[in-house]
Amino acid sequence: MTDEIELPGEVTLLWGLRETVRRGRKPSLTVADITRAAVEVADAEGLAAVSMARVAAQLGNSTMALYRYVKSKDELLLLMSDAALDGPPDLPDGLDWRTGLTLWARSLLKVLQRHPWTVQIPISGPPVGPNNLWWFDRALRALGDTGLDEEDKVGVVMGLLTFVHGELRLSTELSKGYAENPEAFGRQYGKALARVVDAQRFPALGKVIAAGVFEGEVPYDEEVEGEFGLGLFLDGVAAFIERRAAGQG
């Protein structure tokens, strides 16, 4: 017999298990309606524009009407972060783990790029929403034939999730900066560093500058940069799997 626990408020909210107090006429709103409107506002105006009042205006309702379903802006952000995720990609049977995780990571990044504001939402705990858990499950499935134990699989997936979120934030901000001033990413940057960097104080960086790494006018390409980082991460996973298979820590 298992001990029953009271579900946390965020779980009941995200899974539609919360009872809503209803008075008078049949409600004209649902949690899904409110979440959809909030996502629309964030997509069009940015996360900073999202407030209970702004979402209420988007729906043509009063602000107080929203509080019958969503208790706070924090709860609204929680709903939005889960709703922003479409379904994960299908991973055919027999797909090797590296191909599966590559497909998973690329697909997640593509989904989140449609809603870049997601990386601005604070993360206060592990994934609990249905869409987040759907993606979590699919990544764990990709590691099914690796021989890793369940705890190790979770560690790999959480690490990859951290990489994807970091890549999204960097690519979004760097792409914006490149569009505004592309010269700051090429020879101009190299010349500026060459003037201020003391090779004795920054010996490793000094070698990079002396090698002329920053002297080219190579356009910033977020896709190329992302693939390079993803490849390095997965190389590390491959080495980790080999160590585990050999009985090493």
* 111 vs 87: CA distance, rounded Å: 9
* 97 vs 158: CA distance, rounded Å: 15
The residue among 83, 114, 130 that closes a domain is: 83
For residue 89, being part of any structural domain is answered with no
Same domain, 74 and 22: yes
CA-based torsion, 36, 42, 162, 178: positive or negative: positive
Show the domain range for 69.
9-83
Could you tell me the CATH number of the domain that includes residue 169?
A: 1.10.357.10
The residue among 24, 59, 83 that closes a domain is: 83
For residue 205, being part of any structural domain is answered with no
* 10 vs 37: CA distance, rounded Å: 19
CA-based torsion, 137, 143, 144, 150: positive or negative: negative
CA 100 vs CA 93, 141, 157, 205, 211: distances in Å:
10, 9, 12, 36, 37
Note the pTM of the prediction, 2 decimals.
Answer: 0.88
| pLDDT, tens digit (0-9, with 9 covering 90-100), for 126-162 | 899 999 999 999 999 999 999 999 999 999 999 999 9
Q: Which residue reads 């959809």 in tokens?
A: 36
Same domain, 37 and 125: no
| pLDDT, tens digit (0-9, with 9 covering 90-100), for 54-108 | 999 999 999 999 999 999 999 999 999 999 998 999 999 899 999 999 999 999 9
What is the arithmetic mean of pLDDT over 155-182? 88
* 196 vs 51: CA distance, rounded Å: 44
